[in-house]
Amino acid sequence: MYQITATDVSGTYPPATSDPISVTVNAYASYAVADYTDYPATSVVPGQQNVNVMNLIVTNPNAAAGPYYKLVGVTLTVSTSNNNCISSVFVKDSAGNIINSVAWGGGSTQFVPVDALSNTASAGIAGGASATYTIGLDISAAAPDTGFNISVQQPLSLDVQKLDGTVLYVQPNTNQFPFTSNRISVISTNTSSSFYNFPNPFKPGANGTTIQYYLASDAKVSFAIYDLISRRVKTIVGGEQQQGGQIYRYTWDGTNDIHKTVIDGVYYGVLKIADKEYFTKIVVIK
């Protein structure tokens, strides 16, 4: 038996308590539990495919004898006011197989069906078990230079049901809603504008700074860091042949070629591709 007490927050009416209410408690939970893990912040180029951004974990909290659950679909939200970066979004199972792929139009939200048809226990999530789904994106060929993330905004963004079609409330586990991916940065395929480091400035240490560039075609590449009087401080790439059509990233921890930490100041990254040179300014602080 339960009773409900209501309080008028304006103070106009005194608190009131209901008559006793008889409540029958089912032996099985009528909710699902959800959590997520994100992939590291990443840079992409227009037209890049198969970019994994988030893992969703859906758990059936019942005992093994309880009802099976299924993730029917998920609503995703992009952080830009309208979508100009994503051409399509897909969901993979734990084995990496694509369950479904949906074109993403110009809106800021997109519903992706996952398992709307199956009503067999073999395809569901058993009591006490969890299922992991990977959310990924294909980047539009016309995507501008910008940054964005995607998110699962609220419990209702996850359509989790029993196999008989009963819709379940979704309760967060470790992470609270919204489930938000790390930042995805779209960079130009122009080598000059894609050559930069982040964070900048940075403090020397294990995390250091990430330096990246896009290489359009196969070429011999050298990359080193110099101080303001053109002394070479650190060799990152020493004249190696690299394959074009991809982004290259390197981490500099702020040490020189003899493993000593450099002093505060401004340094320059010099990237040599075939017979061309590109420059980016790197600031070290302590």
CATH number at residue 255: 2.60.40.4070
What does each C-alpha distance from 21 to 7, 17, 27, 29, 229 come to in angstroms? 18, 11, 19, 20, 82
Q: Give, in order, the Cα–Cα distances in Å from 125 to each of 59, 75, 162, 266.
A: 7, 20, 9, 55
C-alpha span between 189 and 138 (Å, rounded): 16
Same domain, 44 and 137: yes
Query: Per-residue pLDDT tens for 234-254?
Result: 999 999 999 998 899 999 999
Within a domain: 8:
no
| Structural domain boundaries, residue 244 | 191-284
pTM: 0.74
Per-residue pLDDT tens for 163-198? 989 999 999 999 999 999 999 999 988 899 899 998
Pick from 130, 155, 186: which residue ends a domain?
186
64 and 130 share one domain: yes
Asked if pLDDT for residue 27 goes beyond 80, the answer is no
Same domain? For 160 and 203 the reply is no
pLDDT at residue 201 is higher than 80: yes
CATH number for 86: 2.60.40
Residue 245 lies in a domain: yes
Q: 85 and 144 in contact (C-beta within 8 Å)?
A: yes
Kindly indicate the confidence band of residue 120, based on its pLDDT and cuts at 50, 70 and 90.
low
Mean pLDDT across 255-273: 97
Number of domains in the chain: 2
